[in-house]
């Protein structure tokens, strides 16, 4: 193992282990020593309505009602577009849409006041059906080759539709933000978040102040997984407006039901795939992707882009025609969740390949292998796979761990008896970094190192530790490059008053992109090192020169400089009497380049893979005919426990990326992406070779299938 | 004297608020025990778990009236023990702590398990920790850490 990969004790281990870390809900007073007011949101109870007015109960002394009229500047939160209001405008667009915030010293009283508010609505017709939704926030089309000719020449054609549901990030710490007015008229906003500069970017416009008048700090954050990418900008603006009006610090921490029902989730999807096959090969795909965006556009543009770019999977498909839409519905706005659009389309393409293979009478894994991309091949957007594609070696690694090929053959034989088995596989990638030219044109990351006179070095960057280990891995890279002991290099939670904008903590980019800036900065510092002096060095992002420029209007060029790769196999045993499924083993081979700390990377893989298995099997959330999400507690929305998948094996496979620090690539999102395809494929095998089209595939679905198929 | 008397991490205290108040809120607000986390307030996640007379309870589901005369241990007290030191090393060695939010409850769950069963099998550990949700780790590192701690701390439990 390389030196950089050797594991160390994580720098934030001790305070977290002993429970001393201060999360946003743990502050007993504000910075100034003042009492913190509790803020609680009054939310819409209808999916679509005009708000005629709110009858606010009489407020006791020291209590405040805050709504859109109190926004000093523009009532819009800057995300990708600016359509998300701080507090609702004339209409509400989903159940949970914030109308106002009530604030005051006693949380119970605030709660009582929220309940006592009477909102007068004029009901409007809500759009709830993803399949029928007409309005698209975003509508993209691209493709290559001649799809019509390929269909005309095909031996066989297929037409199937795949569906995936919501998935909630379910970070253990609910969303929470706090705003504290400062003596000089400034506003200090802090809390649980991934992206300090996103919040920082949104505030000045809302508060109608100069950017210098706000600063944002990331508190210790109890998990994010994408869920704290954009939502903290919304909640941060709400508490800041409230703090401005109250003239006092205001904190709003969501309760779990509120968090489950009212914050962004993974987009439910509907993907129709038409395939043309000639001589045993897929010659064309025509794909129609619909993502349920919800009531406002938030991050749907970028989630959809990533999803559709991945829609042809890891396969060479000579002809492609694709349309992708983010449909507006009157439901909670969906956003970022680990995988960012990829899990939906990879599920669809993996199932499609599986179904075609079975129809042709060949093994699905062999069929997929016959279509695999390799180095030098063209991507879906006519960019290039510039580096070796390690999938064949990774398949072998998984095969060695679980006898994949043998079991696939065995379980495809007719099974009898109460318990039936299946094993499924998925092959996939995750494009590392922002899609397209985002890193170059939008993010323009800057990172710094500050060396103090005593020879210690501090990393200055904006990426947040959210459990993924950045407070350890950033210093490891710098210490290695400088030849310093790790204790001499530190990285704190970012404060926009102190650190440059190295971009958001998203897209599996922090380690690969910002980590490389830090490595280069460290090399520079080493060359200029002067003992006993304070010194600062800076590095800026520059695009690797091998890239084929990406044009978003045409969806052409390199969408990503490189890819992380995954191969999963999941083995199940179905009890045909009860419908219960036991996961006998879940095996993942993951290529994230050089691990910058092996145990941290394995921890990311295990955590992400288990989230993916939850998404595939038990995490079911849906709304009813009024648009209300009913599964809004941990007794209705189940996530995996320690007892659910005892045999979870994650393995690393290293294909280095020369432009990443020591060869590292993006890691955080990859392990989640492939689980639904592998799991549902396994269920198909266990259920006698049925064709399945949706995830999650729950115990109830299993029972339905058993009854229907007479198993 | 009026009030609810109990020991908190070995110290005798008397709570004079309502007997209907939640132990979770009282520990955090009145006694500054912010290691006790709120993940759901409905008894479903284990983030708020504390030891009450050695039994692991979700403090969000315990009314103050129920702890009169009890001995309560939170991480504020437990982190000073020898047993904690063993778990601490085991968790550190395996990088088993990610975001940290589940950890105080998880560690106390491990303590409750080992106190009852000093040499649990892997399956028993998984079962013993199954009331404590962790969204970050996938549990393997935590389960292995508890297993290692049981070996290392031979005789401590
Ligand atoms: S907060 Fe008590 S069990 Fe979740
Ligand atoms: S470490 Fe984050 S929930 Fe367990």
CA distance A421 to A575: 9
Domain final residue pick, B44, B75, B106: B75
Calpha distance A670→A390 (Å, rounded):
15
Mean per-residue pLDDT, A535-554? 95
Is residue B51 domain-shared with residue B114, that is, in the same domain? Answer: no
Cα separation of B108 and A11, whole Å?
22
Ligand 1 site, CB within 6 A: B 38-41, 43-48, 58, 60
CA distance A695 to B7: 49
Q: Do A19 and B34 touch (CB under 8 A)?
A: yes
B102 band by pLDDT with thresholds 50, 70 and 90:
very high
In three-state secondary structure terms, A66 is strand
Q: Who's near A520: CB < 8 A, 6+ residues apart?
A: A539
Cβ-nearest to B133 among A172, A602, A607: A172
Phi first, then psi: what are they for A123, rounded to 5°?
-70, 140
The count of other CB atoms within 10 Å of the CB of residue A572 is: 27
Residue whose Cα lies nearest atom 3 of ligand 2: it is B134
Closest ligand (CA of B58): 1
Buried b (16+ CB within 10 A) or exposed e, A629-648: bebbebeebbbbbbbbbbeb
Question: Cβ–Cβ of B99/A173 closer than 8 Å?
Answer: yes
Query: Could you report the per-residue pLDDT of A657-674, keeping only the tens digit for each?
Result: 999 999 999 999 999 999
The angle at the Cα of A586, spanning A582 to A587, to the nearest 5 degrees, equals 160
Interval between CA B37 and ligand 1 midpoint (Å): 8
Q: Which of B135, B143, B148 would you mutate first to test chain A, the one with the most A CBs within 10 A?
A: B135
Residues in B 65-94 with any Cβ partner in A closer than 8 A? 74-76, 79, 84, 88, 91-94
The half-sphere exposure of A217 on its side-chain side, counting CA atoms within 13 A, is 17
B58 Cα–ligand 1 center, Å: 6
Q: Mean pLDDT over residues A476-483, rounded?
A: 98
Inspect the interface and report whether the beta carbons of A642 and B95 lie closer than 8 Å: no
Query: HSE of B59 in the Cβ direction (CA atoms, 13 Å)?
Result: 32
A274 SS3 class: strand
Residue B112 covered by a domain = yes
A2 pLDDT tier (thresholds 50, 70, 90): confident
Closest approach of chain B CAs to the CA of A595, in angstroms? 14
- The C-alpha of A493 sits at a distance from chain B's nearest C-alpha, in angstroms, of 13
- Taking CB atoms and an 8 Å limit, are B143 and A222 in contact across chains? no
Q: Is residue B108 in a domain?
A: yes
Q: What is the mean pLDDT of residues A309-326?
A: 98
Residue B155, min C-alpha distance to chain A (Å): 22
Query: Please, which residues 112-131 of chain B have a Cβ atom closer than 8 Å to chain A?
Result: 122-123, 125-127, 129-131
* B28 CA → ligand 1 middle, Å: 13
> Do residues B29 and B71 both lie within one domain?
yes
Ligand nearest to the CA of A255: 1
Residue B157 lies in a domain: no
DSSP string, A675-706: HHHHHHHHHHHHTTS----EES--HHHHHHHH
Q: Which of B49, B75, B101 is at the close of a domain?
A: B75
Across residues A16-37, what is the average pLDDT?
97
- What gap in Å lies between CA A537 and CA A437, rounded to an integer? 26
Helix (H) or strand (E) holding A20, with range, is none
Q: Work out how many CB contacts closer than 8 A connect A with B.
A: 171
Cα distance between residue A369 and residue A365, in whole Å? 6
In the predicted structure, residue A355 carries a pLDDT above the cut 80? yes
Q: What pLDDT, on a 0 to 100 scale, did the predictor assign at position A711?
A: 87
Same domain for B87 and B71? no
Say if B27 falls within a structural domain: yes
pLDDT at B100: 98
Contacts of B131 in chain A (CB under 8 A): 641
Position B1 scores a pLDDT of 58
Closest-CA residue in chain A for B38?
A173
Residue of B22, B60, B98, B149 to mutate when probing chain A, most A C-beta within 10 A:
B98
Q: How far is the CA of B59 from the centre of ligand 1 (A)?
A: 7
Q: Tell me the nearest-neighbour CA distance from B18 into chain A, angstroms.
A: 14
In a domain, B87, yes or no: yes
Which pLDDT belongs to residue A597? 97
Segment A491-520 shows an average pLDDT of 97
Please tell me which of the candidates B36, B39, B131 has its beta carbon nearest to residue A256: B39
What is chain B written as a DSSP string? Answer: --SEEEEETTEEEEE-S-TTSBHHHHHHHTS--TTS--S-SSSSS-TTEEEETTEEEEGGG-BGGGGTT-EEE-HHHHTTSHHHHHHHHHHHHTT--SS-TTHHHHHHHHHHHHHH-SS--HHHHHHHTTTS--SSS-SHHHHHHHHHHHHHTTTT-
Domain ranges of chain A: 23-125+175-253, 269-435+556-709, 445-540
Q: Give the strands of the sheet with A64-67, arranged side by side.
A: A64-67, A98-104, A37-43, A250-253, A176-181, A187-191, A214-218
Residues having CB within 6 Å of any atom of ligand 2: A 172, 223, 467; B 97-103, 134-137
User: Fold match between A23-125+175-253 and A445-540?
Assistant: no
Instruction: Write out pLDDT tens, residues A118-149.
Output: 999 999 999 999 999 999 999 999 999 999 99
What CATH number does the domain located at A23-125+175-253 have?
A: 3.90.1170.50
Residue B123 confidence (pLDDT): 98
Cα–Cα distance for residue pair A146/A117, rounded to 1 Å = 59
Query: What confidence tier does A1 reach under pLDDT thresholds 50, 70, 90?
Result: confident
Q: Are B102 and B46 in contact (CB under 8 A)?
A: yes
Residue A273 bridge partners (DSSP): A160, A287
CATH 3.30.365.10 holds for A269-435+556-709? yes
Q: Which helix (H) or strand (E) holds A186?
A: none
Which residue's CA is the closest to the ligand 1 atom numbered 3? B43
Q: Which of B31, B34, B83, B99 to probe the A interface (max A CBs under 10 A)?
A: B99
Alpha helices by DSSP H, A387-512 = 391-402, 404-411, 438, 470-482
Query: What pLDDT score does B74 carry?
Result: 98
Residue A692: pLDDT band with limits 50, 70, 90 = very high
Count Cβ atoms within 10 A of the Cβ of residue A62 and give its class: 0-12 exposed, 13-18 middle, 19 or more buried.
middle
In whole angstroms, give the CA distance from residue A449 to residue A168. 36
How many domains does chain B contain in total?
Answer: 2
Chain A positions in Cβ-Cβ contact with residue B136 (cut-off 8 Å): 172, 223, 467, 603, 607
* Domain end position, chosen among B45, B75, B105: B75
In angstroms, the separation between the Cα of residue A37 and the nearest Cα of chain B is 14
pLDDT at A595 over 70: yes
Is residue B60 located within the same domain as residue B116?
A: no
Range of the domain at B48: 4-75
The confidence score (pLDDT) of residue B2 equals 82
Looking at the fold, whether B69 and B85 belong to one and the same domain comes out as no
Q: Rounded to whole angstroms, how far apart are CA atoms A437 and A383?
A: 13
The CATH topology of domain A445-540 is: Aldehyde Oxidoreductase; domain 4 (3.30.365)
Among chain A residues, the shortest Cα distance to B89 is held by A9
Question: Could you say which of B95, B131, B134 has the minimum Cβ distance to residue A599?
Answer: B95
Cα–Cα distances (Å) from B108 to A72, A80, B64, B93, in that order, read 47, 43, 20, 18
Cα gap A475→A515, rounded to integer Å: 9
Burial A306-336 (b: 16+ CB within 10 A, else e): bbbbbbbbbbbbbbbbbbbbbbbbbbbbbbb
Angle at A340 between CA A335 and CA A344, to 5 degrees: 105
| Distance, CA of A593 to CA of A663 (rounded, Å) | 6
Interchain CB distance below 8 Å, B98 and A603: yes
The answer to whether A503 and A494 have CB atoms below 8 angstroms apart is no
Ligand 2 atom 2 nearest Cα: B99
Helix (H, G, I), strand (E, B) or coil at A477: helix
- Asked whether the beta carbons of A352 and A158 are under 8 A apart, the reply is yes
CB pair distance less than 8 Å for A633 and B123? no
Average pLDDT, chain A: 97
What pTM value is reported for the model?
0.98
Distance from CA of B136 to the nearest CA of A (A): 5
Residues A428-462 pLDDT 10s: 999 989 999 889 999 999 999 999 999 999 999 99
Give the ipTM: 0.98
Q: Is-contact A456 A705, C-beta < 8 A?
A: no
The answer as to whether B137 is a domain residue is yes
Q: What per-residue confidence (pLDDT) applies to A639? A: 98
């Amino acid at each position: 193992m390389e030196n950089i990969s050797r594991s160390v004790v994580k720098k934030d281990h001790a305070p977290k282990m002993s429970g001393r870390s201060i999360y946003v809900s743990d502050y007993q007073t504000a910075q100034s020593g003042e009492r913190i007011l509790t803020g609680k949101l009054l939310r819409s109870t209808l999916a679509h309505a005009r708000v005629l007015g709110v009858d606010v109960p009489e407020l006791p002394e020291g209590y405040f009602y805050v709504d859109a009229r109190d926004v000093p500047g523009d009532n819009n939160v800057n995300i990708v577009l600016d359509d998300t209001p701080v507090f609702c405008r004339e209409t509400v667009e989903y159940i949970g849409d914030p109308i106002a915030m009530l604030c005051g010293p006693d949380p119970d009283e605030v709660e009582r006041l929220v309940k006592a508010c009477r909102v007068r609505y004029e009901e409007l017709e809500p759009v709830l059906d993803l399949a029928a939704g007409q309005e698209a926030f975003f509508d993209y089309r691209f493709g290559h080759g001649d799809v019509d000719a390929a269909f005309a020449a095909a031996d066989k054609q297929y037409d199937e539709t795949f569906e995936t549901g919501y998935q909630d990030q379910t970070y253990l710490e609910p969303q929470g933000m706090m705003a504290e007015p400062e003596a000089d008229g400034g506003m200090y906003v802090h809390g649980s978040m991934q992206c300090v500069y996103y919040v920082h970017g949104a505030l000045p416009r809302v508060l109608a102040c100069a950017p210098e008048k706000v600063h944002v700090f990331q508190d210790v954050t109890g998990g994010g997984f994408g869920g704290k990418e954009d939502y903290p900008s919304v909640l941060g603006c709400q508490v800041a407006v409230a703090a401005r009006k109250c003239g006092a610090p205001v904190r709003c921490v969501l309760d779990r039901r509120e968090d489950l029902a009212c914050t962004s989730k993974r987009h439910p999807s509907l993907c129709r795939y038409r395939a043309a096959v000639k001589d045993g090969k897929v010659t064309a795909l025509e794909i129609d992707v619909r993502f349920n965006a919800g009531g406002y556009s938030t991050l749907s543009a970028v989630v959809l882009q990533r999803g559709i770019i991945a829609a042809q999977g890891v396969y060479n498909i000579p002809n492609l025609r694709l349309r992708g839409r983010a449909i507006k519905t009157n439901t909670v706005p969906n956003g970022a969740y680990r995988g960012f659009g990829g899990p939906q389309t990879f599920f669809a393409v993996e199932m499609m390949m599986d179904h075609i293979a079975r129809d042709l009478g060949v093994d699905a894994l062999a069929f997929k292998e016959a279509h695999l991309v390799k180095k030098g091949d063209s991507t879906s957007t006519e960019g290039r796979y510039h580096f070796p594609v390690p999938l064949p070696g990774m398949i072998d690694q998984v095969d060695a761990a679980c006898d994949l090929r043998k079991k696939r053959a065995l379980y495809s034989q007719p099974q009898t008896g109460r318990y039936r088995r299946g094993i499924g596989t998925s092959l996939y990638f995750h494009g590392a970094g922002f899609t397209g030219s985002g890193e170059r044109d939008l993010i323009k990351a800057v990172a710094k190192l500050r060396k103090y006179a005593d020879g210690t070095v501090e990393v200055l960057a904006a990426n947040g530790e959210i459990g993924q280990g950045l407070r350890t891995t950033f210093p490891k890279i710098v210490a290695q490059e400088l030849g310093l002991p790790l204790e001499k290099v530190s990285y704190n939670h970012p404060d926009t008053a102190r650190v440059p904008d190295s971009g958001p903590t998203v897209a599996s980019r922090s380690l690969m992109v910002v980590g490389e800036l830090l490595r280069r900065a460290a090399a520079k510092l080493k060359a200029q090192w002067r003992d006993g002096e304070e010194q600062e060095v800076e590095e800026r992002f520059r695009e690797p020169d091998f890239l084929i420029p990406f044009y978003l209007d045409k969806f052409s060029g390199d969408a990503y400089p490189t890819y992380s790769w995954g191969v999963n196999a999941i083995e199940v045993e179905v009890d045909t009497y009860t419908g219960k499924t036991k996961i006998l083993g879940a095996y993942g081979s993951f290529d994230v380049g050089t691990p910058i700390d092996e145990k941290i990377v394995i921890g990311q893989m295990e955590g992400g893979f288990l989230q993916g298995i939850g998404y595939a099997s038990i995490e079911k959330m849906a709304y009813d005919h009024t648009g209300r999400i009913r599964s809004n507690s941990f007794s209705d929305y189940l996530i995996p426990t320690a007892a659910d998948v005892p045999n979870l094996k994650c393995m690393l496979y290293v294909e280095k990326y020369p432009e990443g620090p020591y060869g590292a690539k993006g890691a955080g999102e990859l392990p989640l992406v492939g689980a639904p395809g592998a799991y549902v494929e396994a269920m198909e095998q266990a259920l006698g070779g049925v064709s399945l089209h949706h995830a999650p595939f729950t115990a109830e679905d299993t029972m339905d299938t058993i009854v229907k198929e007479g198993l | 004297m009026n009030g609810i008397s109990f020991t908190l991490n070995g110290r005798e205290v008397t709570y004079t608020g309502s007997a209907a108040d939640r132990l979770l809120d009282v520990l955090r607000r009145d006694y500054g025990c912010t290691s006790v986390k709120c993940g759901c307030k409905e008894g479903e996640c284990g983030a708020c778990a504390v030891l009450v007379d050695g039994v692991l309870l979700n403090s969000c589901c315990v009314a103050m009236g129920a702890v009169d005369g009890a001995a309560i241990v939170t991480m504020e007290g437990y982190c000073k023990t020898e047993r904690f030191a063993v778990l601490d090393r085991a968790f550190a060695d395996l990088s088993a702590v990610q975001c940290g939010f589940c950890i105080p409850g998880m560690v106390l769950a491990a303590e409750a398990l080992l106190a009852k069963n000093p040499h649990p099998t892997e399956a028993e550990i998984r079962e013993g920790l199954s009331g404590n949700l962790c969204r970050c780790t996938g549990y393997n590192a935590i389960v292995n850490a508890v297993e290692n701690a049981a070996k290392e701390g031979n005789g401590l439990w």
